[in-house]
Amino acid sequence: MKKIIITGGAGFIGSHLCRRLLQEGNEVICLDNFFTGTKSNIIDLMKNDYFEIIRHDVVNDIFIEADEIYHFACPASPVHYQYNPIKTMKTSILGTINMLGLAKRTRAKMLLASTSEVYGDPLVHPQKEEYWGNVNCTGIRSCYDEGKRAAETLMMDYHRQHKLDAKIIRIFNTYGPNMRPDDGRVVSNFIVQATNKKDITIYGDGSQTRSFCYVDDLVDGIIRMMNTENFTGPVNLGNPDEFTIRELAEKVLLLTKSSSKIIYEPLPSDDPKKRKPDISLAKTRLGWEPEIKLSEGLKKTIAYFQSGPGKAV
Ligand code: NAD
Ligand code: UDP
């Protein structure tokens, strides 16, 4: 039985990871300050004697033991990471330094949840890991993008300087149950709007693209990465099927049988025009590729939101 820390374990992806790693017979400690995560995402796990929740902010140090650390603590929705951008930067940088310190002291393996945002508004398409990105360091998304870039740097420096077993994944847009209805990201926004017969808000003209990965596929890739020896990454994890935001809106309207109308709002600044992962490295090194198509994943996510969390928000 491994002792595993999951920072951000009460959040969307973290809660799925907690569940899966407990099912696999591990002891799981969830560290979360509940900024965007909720107890309801993990409350059912409290029945398991091998699950523990510690209310903790990763910008402060903590002295506990672990064999593995999945470092996910950080707000991920633009609305949430821009709410207090200085705190977002502190979470990425100080939070990663603290968890790296813990990993160094306990000789734990540590995996960082980085992001496709390290590629910024990419000039290379699809994005390969070798691409260094096109990132604005002074814009409204910079607290998140540059914070994650610095976190990647720290991971690599601890790996080189202290021989830490470090692993970096770059997650592309992921969706599924346990997203907050007021999360502000596009999939949850469109589903909640369609379900509540509110206007569907497309930012810009909707021609910008994203590639959406269902959370179960992502969690498989994350665990494979942790269990693959002698591979630090960074590695892209995402679904390479690319859609315009307008196509996503039309799919959600069709699947929810909603009569909501589409309205257009201004595009936020630095919003990437295109995004699609090249997942050749994940295929070769992890034997991983996503299996769940967008329509199938959307149906499961719509069922989740319609079962309660998305009603009348
Ligand atoms: P989320 O907002 O649902 O989860 C983040 C969790 O971290 C929440 O439970 C929150 O309360 C916690 N947290 C935030 N700041 C903290 C702090 N200072 N101390 C302790 N806990 C803190 O977001 P998510 O979508 O589950 O994303 C999880 C991770 O994956 C993030 O690091 C994010 O950058 C990364 N990621 C996610 C996506 C995606 O599409 N979902 C894409 C790229 C990267
Ligand atoms: N978006 C939109 N309407 C919304 C929310 C988002 O058109 O209600 C757009 C957003 O401008 C971006 C894309 O959808 O182009 C994905 O946004 P999200 O916040 O989900 O993630 P991002 O990939 O931008 O971090």
Which ligand ends up closest to the CA of 116? Answer: 1
Question: What is the average pLDDT score of the chain?
Answer: 97
pLDDT band at 310 (very low <50, low <70, confident <90, very high): low
Topology at the third CATH level for domain 3-175+213-239+275-291:
Rossmann fold (3.40.50)
Q: Is the pTM higher than 0.95?
A: yes
Domain ranges of the chain: 3-175+213-239+275-291
88-98 per-position pLDDT tens digit: 999 999 999 99
pLDDT band at 308 (very low <50, low <70, confident <90, very high): confident
278-302 per-position pLDDT tens digit: 999 999 999 999 999 999 999 999 9
Regarding the beta carbon of 119 and ligand 1, being less than 6 Å apart is answered no
What is the number of other CB atoms lying within 10 angstroms of the CB of residue 300? 15
- 78 phi/psi in degrees, rounded to 5: -50, -40
47-65 per-position pLDDT tens digit: 999 999 999 999 999 999 9
How far does the centroid of ligand 1 lie from the alpha carbon of residue 37, in Å? Answer: 8
255-270 per-position pLDDT tens digit: 999 999 999 999 999 9
Nearest CA to ligand 2 atom 19: 185
175: annotated active-site residue: no
Name residue 174's beta-bridge partners. 213
Residue appearing with tokens 């990663």: 96
Collect contacts of 269-273 with beta carbons under 8 A, ≥24 apart: 269/139, 269/140, 269/141, 270/120, 270/121, 270/136, 270/139, 270/140, 270/141, 271/121, 271/203, 271/204, 271/208, 272/117, 272/119, 272/120, 272/121, 272/122, 272/208, 273/121, 273/208, 273/209
